[in-house]
Structure 1
Amino acid sequence: MSVALAIAVLFGVFFLLLFAGIPISVSIAISSMMTALFFLSWEQSTFVVMQSMNLGTESFSLLAVPLFIFAGNIMNNGGIARRLIDLAQVLAGRIPGSLAHTNVLGNMLFGSLSGSAVAAAAAVGGTLHQRQKDEGYDPAFSTAVNIASAPTGLLIPPTAAVIVYSTIAGGVSISALFMAGYGPGILMGLAVMATAFLYARKHSYSVSGRTSARLALQILLRAIPSLLLIVVVVGGIVFGVFTATEGAGVAVLYTLLLALAYRSMSWADFRQVMIRTVSTTGVVMFLIAASSAMSWVMAYTGIPGAISSAVLSISDTRFVIFLLMLVVLLVVGTFLDITPAILIFTPIFLPVVTELGMDPVHFGIVLILAMCIGTMTPPVGSVLFVSCGVSGVTIEQVAPRLIPYFVVLILVLLAVTYLPALSLGLPQVLGLLE
């Protein structure tokens, strides 16, 4: 009875506040405090909630989060996006609907470097939108492609999302998670490109003009310094040269040097980058702190165990349990951003899937991929709103064009869930899994 009461109070208050328009982090903190008050005194509740919030952010690994945010903001202002888009256009230039494929590849390249789906959607989509419009592309189609491909950067490393998951999941290897993200992230981008290709061929969209070998080489050489960031940071973390946090510091230093070399960021721009970094970091860290309090309350009241038992009582078949989990995550993703979703649902579902034999690294990638799809959906679809904002297309106009991408991305999610080799193959080859 006490567990049922805890579930009713915790999630009832949380969703009530959420639908009332209260910020997610505040809703989490208030619902956690109110649930604690049903089982502990005011003094005890205040102490344990505040202590949990404090301890939740006292992690050396979490220091990587603001550093990666800082590096991403520098890249968004440092002229890096333009060079990556030029490279993407060379790679996709001879495919029907080449600018749409340029958009996808640009999001994959820039998103993997910045670690932000929103930054990729704004930088790449904003740069290519007018060019696509001038060449006769349907603006709703172009916007849909940008929306569907921008979240790939949340899977392709380096990305802060896996660091948050690693911390909450009890120290799951960040190196293994980084490598596990490549297969699903690339598969996600290829699925979007295949869908865009079919639409572009049906509507006879043109290909870009042929790029000379000399110009292509120049573009590649201009992009190599940016691409080396992946080699330096991810390679250094995977092969044990430095930790994820130290790698994030290297990323900041490297991107600063690139911005100085490109002469594309003034002192005023740098100050704005610092302000945005501090603002975003404050939001993310308060989310982590509040979610740590919720995790403590759930553990104290036995909510994860009760939910695990309830889910496992429905069926003992892996296929059914995993499918049920995916449905919940896709629904949750429509109104929760990726960070709070990871923080809330990792302690709930991780015990269930590990009991059924799913590797924690595999689950982390499945969880993040499901939340990637959630960034495309209202009412909290950050990528959806940013992409529509930079293109000037309304949600009502883009919604019909998005449906085919939802379908293929859900198929990708199912494939990644039920075919572990898609995510675990690379970490196993590199010896990163036990």
Structure 2
Amino acid sequence: MRVVLLILGASALATLGYLGAVWADPALYSEAALIPVIFATLVVLICLNVPIAVGLAVAGILGLLLTEGVDSLVTVALDMYDGSTKFSLIAIPMFVLAGAIMNAGGVTDRLINFVSALIGFVRGGLAMVNIGVSLFFAEISGSAVADVAAMGSILIPQMKKRGYSGPFSAAVTSSSASLAIIIPPSIPMILYATSAEGTSVEQLFVAGVVPGLMGAAGLMAVAYMLARRYDLPTEEAFNIARLRATFLDALPAFSLPIIILGGIFGGYVTATEAAGLAVLAAIGVGIWYREMDFRHLRRAMLDGGMQTAVVMLLVAASVLMGGFLTRAQVPQDLAAWLLGITSNKWVILAILNVFFLVIGFFLHSAAAIILVVPIVMPLIAAAGIDPVHFGLVVTLNLAIGQQTPPVASVLITACAVARANIWEVSKVNIYFVGVLFAVLMMCTYIPQIPLFLVDYFYR
């Protein structure tokens, strides 16, 4: 704590000292010296627990004020509004709403019954059911936090009742929920496409399919090995009649991913239009089952609305910081500096992997994408790296970040549901995080894995 306070104090003093010196003698002004001052201001605000969106806005306004004067602030409100009203961003609240309707309409229970009948007979089958249902739910909500909150509240108590430990139950639920930001539709992918101008959301969605399935298979393999080690129970024996009955019962629910992914992959709708169709389809399935829990739906919609508002505020605030960085030529200078060290794109990807893994420890995925991606995109273009490939690399890094303290938003949510200690859960979760890391390495250095379907459908 003393070290943190010392760093904060030094950053604050350096920032105030520089601003005071420039105020007294404008000749001391230098854009090169101003950049670390602006970033120091942002770091200080974040460490003081100021909301990241507010910190971004304050730092961006300060940068514009010092580089271009008071006149540059006239259009601040309009710039923020324009930045947060891009067409592709409409998909975010729509996918969140579709997930809420699906969970409140009885869809989740039927998915659990079907997956349990399909693979529940395997040792540790309920853990695999957890992963399998998360794989399906990821194709509707696009949000890992929504996934772990919805699935965890149902499956974690059932797992604990059947002899699974609280840390194991939370680890499985948390790690499998991160599939929601790898498999389409993915909210972080939408934000990445918005931040990386010219990148196709649809191509990012397609690129996430194979890595997502690889991640699910790897998580199931680890769950099976741990189940054998701890002699975890199996569910009821495989029964073809039960499988057929649960499949027919869940059949209307299977229309949701077909509508979303089929529409996008077939080129019939954009990602934003698919989000609207997902809401209509979720409503139709809920009406079919006649089990809509309106109290649950209201709570889920309020939570989703707040989550969306936070993301939109981040997007709006990032416009101001982006304007300052563009005027100061920070992205171009970073690209020139790193390319001066190495022009090998694989080495550059390794450096950026380490950078994003570290960033993921401290920032939520939305904030990390909005803050960092616009800065590194000129470097990606100069190094000849496919922006869709890099988008998968970023997404996988942030999926790991959701599982690693101190921020670890998804892991913390799972621990809260399971009432388990975060460090005890992390000891188990490290095996599952290892799977995500292996998928990250394969997708980084074998780009054909994420780009195979993209090349087939679009190139």
Kindly state the Cα deviation for residue 400 of structure 1 after the two structures are TM-superposed. 1.2
Q: Which residue of 2 aligns with 1:293?
A: 320
> For the residues of structure 1 that align with 2:327 and 2:75, how far apart are their CA atoms?
11
- Residue type at the aligned position of 1:276: D
Q: Which residue of 2 aligns with 1:24?
A: 52
Moved over 6 A (4+): none
Q: Which residue of 1 aligns with 2:333?
A: 306
Give the match's secondary structure for 1:38: helix
Kindly state the Cα deviation for residue 266 of structure 1 after the two structures are TM-superposed. 4.2
Give the match's secondary structure for 2:68: coil
Decide which of 228, 231, 234 is 2:261's aligned counterpart. 234
**For the Cα contact (< 8 Å) 2:118–2:238, is it kept in 1?**
no
> For the residues of structure 2 that align with 1:120 and 1:407, how far apart are their CA atoms?
21
Q: Which residue of 2 aligns with 1:131?
A: 158
Q: Which residue of 1 aligns with 2:400?
A: 373
Structure 2 portions without partners, runs of 5+ = 1-28
- Residue type at the aligned position of 2:69: S
Compute the TM-score of the two structures, normalised by the length of structure 2: 0.89
Give the match's secondary structure for 2:74: helix
Q: Which residue of 1 aligns with 2:100?
A: 73
**For the Cα contact (< 8 Å) 1:333–1:370, is it kept in 2?**
yes
Sort the Cα spacing of 1:6 and 1:302 in 2 relative to 1 into closer, same or farther, 3 A.
Answer: farther
Kindly state the Cα deviation for residue 200 of structure 1 after the two structures are TM-superposed. 1.4
CA shift digits 1:327-379 (9 cap, x unpaired): 11011111211112111222122222232222111111111111111111223
Q: Which residue of 1 aligns with 2:71?
A: 43
Deviating more after overlay: 420-429 vs 216-225: 216-225
> For the residues of structure 2 that align with 1:257 and 1:211, how far apart are their CA atoms?
31
- Residue type at the aligned position of 1:21: N
Give the match's secondary structure for 1:333: helix
Sort the Cα spacing of 1:268 and 1:142 in 2 relative to 1 into closer, same or farther, 3 A.
Answer: closer
Corresponding pairs, count: 431
Deviating more after overlay: 365-374 vs 402-411: 402-411
CA shift digits 1:364-416 (9 cap, x unpaired): 11111111111112232111111001101011221211222223322221111
Sort the Cα spacing of 1:106 and 1:43 in 2 relative to 1 into closer, same or farther, 3 A.
Answer: same
- Residue type at the aligned position of 1:253: L
1:243 matched to 2:270: yes
Q: Which residue of 2 aligns with 1:56?
A: 83
Q: Which residue of 1 aligns with 2:429?
A: 402
> For the residues of structure 1 that align with 2:334 and 2:161, how far apart are their CA atoms?
53
Kindly state the Cα deviation for residue 273 of structure 1 after the two structures are TM-superposed. 4.2
> For the residues of structure 1 that align with 2:218 and 2:76, how far apart are their CA atoms?
43
Sort the Cα spacing of 1:10 and 1:87 in 2 relative to 1 into closer, same or farther, 3 A.
Answer: farther
1:418 matched to 2:439: no
**For the Cα contact (< 8 Å) 2:335–2:382, is it kept in 1?**
no
Sort the Cα spacing of 1:365 and 1:102 in 2 relative to 1 into closer, same or farther, 3 A.
Answer: same
1:1-400 equivalences in 2 (<5 Å): 2-44=30-72, 46-400=73-427
User: Identity of aligned pairs, percent?
Assistant: 36
**For the Cα contact (< 8 Å) 1:53–1:292, is it kept in 2?**
yes
Q: Which residue of 1 aligns with 2:21?
A: none
**For the Cα contact (< 8 Å) 1:97–1:207, is it kept in 2?**
yes
Kindly state the Cα deviation for residue 272 of structure 1 after the two structures are TM-superposed. 3.5
CA shift digits 1:109-144 (9 cap, x unpaired): 112211111121122222122222222222211211
- Residue type at the aligned position of 1:387: A
> For the residues of structure 1 that align with 2:300 and 2:151, how far apart are their CA atoms?
18
> For the residues of structure 1 that align with 2:161 and 2:372, how far apart are their CA atoms?
44
> For the residues of structure 2 that align with 1:77 and 1:4, how far apart are their CA atoms?
53
**For the Cα contact (< 8 Å) 1:64–1:249, is it kept in 2?**
yes
**For the Cα contact (< 8 Å) 2:99–2:137, is it kept in 1?**
no
Structure 1 portions without partners, runs of 5+ = none
> For the residues of structure 1 that align with 2:398 and 2:31, how far apart are their CA atoms?
27
> For the residues of structure 2 that align with 1:14 and 1:91, how far apart are their CA atoms?
50
- RMSD over equivalenced CA pairs, Å: 1.8
Sort the Cα spacing of 1:91 and 1:169 in 2 relative to 1 into closer, same or farther, 3 A.
Answer: same
